[in-house]
Structure 1
Amino acid sequence: MPQEVRAVVARERNAPVEVETIIVPDPGPGEAVVQVLACGVCHTDLHYRQGGINDEFPFLLGHEAAGLVESVGPDVTDLKPGDYVVIAWRAPCGGCRSCRRGRPWYCFDSRNAAQPMTLLDGTPLSPALGIGAFAEKTLVHSGQCVKVDPAARPEAAGLIGCGVMAGFGAAVNTGAVGMGDTVAVIGCGGVGNAAIAGASVAGARLIAAVDIDGAKLDAATRFGATHTINSRDADPVAAVRELTGGNGADVVIEAVGIAETYRQAFYMRDHAGTVVQVGVPTPELKIELPLIDLFSRGGALKSSWYGDCLPSRDFPLLVDLYLSGKLDLDGFVTETIGLDEVEDAFERMHSGKVLRSVVVF
């Protein structure tokens, strides 16, 4: 029967979030109820709260989560109660034109639960990225539940569900960083540091971290940065070129999402190098570049959506890297908090004081 659980709800644009009782229905066909063990506080949740994604309030926030499958719908055969999972916001449909062409990481019809979770008065909730995991339990499509090794603690494993996967995949999947490459990463928050970690795992010989915050640059070295550049004190384009013999980096990952840092990334890359944009811009931002520079420099300008990942393939891999000591997921967890501390965590995140606050149930 439907369950009443505590959850974090954003009722209106820019209003403080509230912890409320919501109703989670029994899973229907293709659905699963997950008992949430931990969920990271991601900047995307703040975007929802601010109305920067859309205006489909009220939102049920939270999407970087690990938990235990509690129950599944009648036709679900690949999950069972007790399975330890990381929840993905991409669940390839298998039938769209991208999936049919063997590119499920670009799925155009990603699956979500068909039934809504609701407030006590029956008002439907819009779950953040189709998940809504700032809740004791949440309803998702069974395809969003990716089974991983239960030895990984949920505070760390849940972060793979969004920020870590986005950054790591931007380097490894989208940027195709390889052995001996030179890499620059602009913006050393959670996503940028995950890109640094991905580049390190992939074998980059030089990884330059660029930020305006000295504390973030110090943290970047923990994840594999070989050099740090404070762009308050130095021209980052010139600094990266100096580190690379005047050439520029093979791959530059822009993890901020503003015009100026994208422009820096464009001119920071080597001739025929690659720029990967993984920082999420707001809709009003625009950029102008000389068309001759776009033509003459060659290479590739790419956008990375969720690190171009395939969750069923990549989530277990990242957990294995974590358990083997090759990916420092614990380093992303700045603090653990309770469900009623999410609003304060938004403030700390906005001020750049944390990589990730993680709600633990």
Structure 2
Amino acid sequence: MPQQVLGVVAPGRNEPVRVETITVPDPGPGEAVVRVQACGVCHTDLHYKQGGIGDDFPYLLGHEAAGIVETVGEGVTDVAPGDFVILNWRAVCGQCRACLRGRPWYCFDTHNARQRMTLPDGTELSPALGIGAFAEKTLVHAGQCTKVDPGVAPAAAGLLGCGVMAGIGAALNTGNVGRGDTVAVIGCGGVGDAAIVGARLAGAAKIIAVDIDDRKLDTARAMGATHAVNSRDTDPVEAVRELTGGYGADVVIEAVGRPETYAQAFYARDLAGTVVLVGVPTPDMTIELPLLDVFGRGGALKSSWYGDCLPSRDFPMLVDLHRQGRIDLGAFVTETIGLGDVEKAFARMHEGDVLRSVVVL
């Protein structure tokens, strides 16, 4: 029977979030109810609250989550009650033209639960990225549940559900960073630092962190950056070129999502180098580049959707690397908080000293 639990709801554009009682229906065919153990506070949730992604208020926020499958609906075979899972927001369909061409990370018809969670008065909630995990329990499509080794802490594991996967995947999957490459990462928040971790995993010889905050640059060094550039004081394009023998980096990862930093990434790459945009812009942003420069420099300009990941492949692999001590997912957890602290966590995002606040239930 339907359950009533507590969840964090954004009632309207730029209104403070509040903890509300929500109704979670029994899972239907292909669906699962997950008892959430931890959920990271991602900047995307703030975008939802501000109305930067859509206007389908009220939103049930939260999407970087890990937890235990409680019940499953008819036809679900890949996960079962009791499984420890990371939730993902790109459950591939297996049938669209991208999937059929062997590129499921570009799936054009990803799955979400068909039913909606509601407020007690029946008002339907829009779950952030089809998940809505700032809640004691949530309803998702079973394909959004990726089973992983339960030996990893939920607060660390859940971050693979969005930001950490996006950054690591931007380096490994989208940027195809290789051994000996030079890499620059512009913007050293959680996603940028994850890109640094990904570049280190790939064997990059030089990893240049670029940011305007020395505290973030210190953290980037701890994550594996070999050099740091404060772009408030130094032209980042010239600095990256100077550190790469005058050529520019093989791969530049833009983790801010702004026109000015994208232009820096474009000019900071080597001829025939690669630019990866993983920072999320807002709908009003535009970029203008001389077309001759685009033509003359060659290489590749790529955007990275969710780190071009395949959750069933990448989540278990990265959890295994964490358990082997090769990456430290726990290093991304700055603080653990409760459901009632999400609004404060949004405010802390602007202070520059938080990689991730994580709601622990």
TM range (shorter): over 0.9
Amino acid at match of 2:126: S
Matches within 5 A, 1:294-305: 294-305=294-305
What is the CA–CA distance in structure 1 between the aligned matches of 2:50 and 2:350, rounded to whole Å? 12
Counterpart of 2:307 in structure 1 is: 307
Matches within 5 A, 1:1-361: 1-361=1-361
Amino acid at match of 1:341: D
What is the CA–CA distance in structure 1 between the aligned matches of 2:212 and 2:67, rounded to whole Å? 35
Question: Tell me, what secondary structure is at the counterpart of 1:94?
Answer: coil
What is the CA–CA distance in structure 1 between the aligned matches of 2:350 and 2:32, rounded to whole Å? 33
Q: CA deviation at 1:352?
A: 2.2
What is the CA–CA distance in structure 2 between the aligned matches of 1:280 and 1:78, rounded to whole Å? 31
What is the CA–CA distance in structure 2 between the aligned matches of 1:246 and 1:353, rounded to whole Å? 32
> Sequence identity of aligned pairs in percent?
75
Q: CA deviation at 1:350?
A: 2.7
What is the CA–CA distance in structure 2 between the aligned matches of 1:284 and 1:38, rounded to whole Å? 33
CA contact (8 A) 2:65 2:87 kept: yes
Q: CA deviation at 1:246?
A: 0.3
Structure 1 gap segments, 5+ residues each:
none
CA contact (8 A) 2:134 2:339 kept: yes
Aligned residues: 361
Q: CA deviation at 1:232?
A: 0.9
TM-score normalized with structure 2 length: 0.99
TM-score normalized with structure 1 length: 0.99
Question: Tell me, what secondary structure is at the counterpart of 1:118?
Answer: coil
What is the CA–CA distance in structure 2 between the aligned matches of 1:131 and 1:331, rounded to whole Å? 24
What is the CA–CA distance in structure 1 between the aligned matches of 2:345 and 2:222, rounded to whole Å? 23
Question: Tell me, what secondary structure is at the counterpart of 2:27?
Answer: coil
Q: CA deviation at 1:79?
A: 1.2
Amino acid at match of 2:228: T
CA contact (8 A) 2:87 2:146 kept: yes
What is the CA–CA distance in structure 2 between the aligned matches of 1:127 and 1:17, rounded to whole Å? 14
Q: CA deviation at 1:286?
A: 1.0
Give the ranges of 4+ consecutive aligned residues of structure 1 lying more than 3 Å apart after TM superposition: none
What is the CA–CA distance in structure 1 between the aligned matches of 2:15 and 2:146, rounded to whole Å? 33
CA contact (8 A) 2:215 2:352 kept: no
Q: 1:11-58, CA deviations, whole angstroms, 9 ceiling, x for partnerless residues?
A: 100000000000000001000000000000000000000000000000
Question: Tell me, what secondary structure is at the counterpart of 1:326?
Answer: coil
Q: CA deviation at 1:297?
A: 0.5
CA contact (8 A) 2:172 2:202 kept: yes
CA root-mean-square deviation: 0.6
CA contact (8 A) 2:64 2:133 kept: yes
Question: Tell me, what secondary structure is at the counterpart of 2:46?
Answer: helix
What is the CA–CA distance in structure 1 between the aligned matches of 2:23 and 2:116, rounded to whole Å? 9
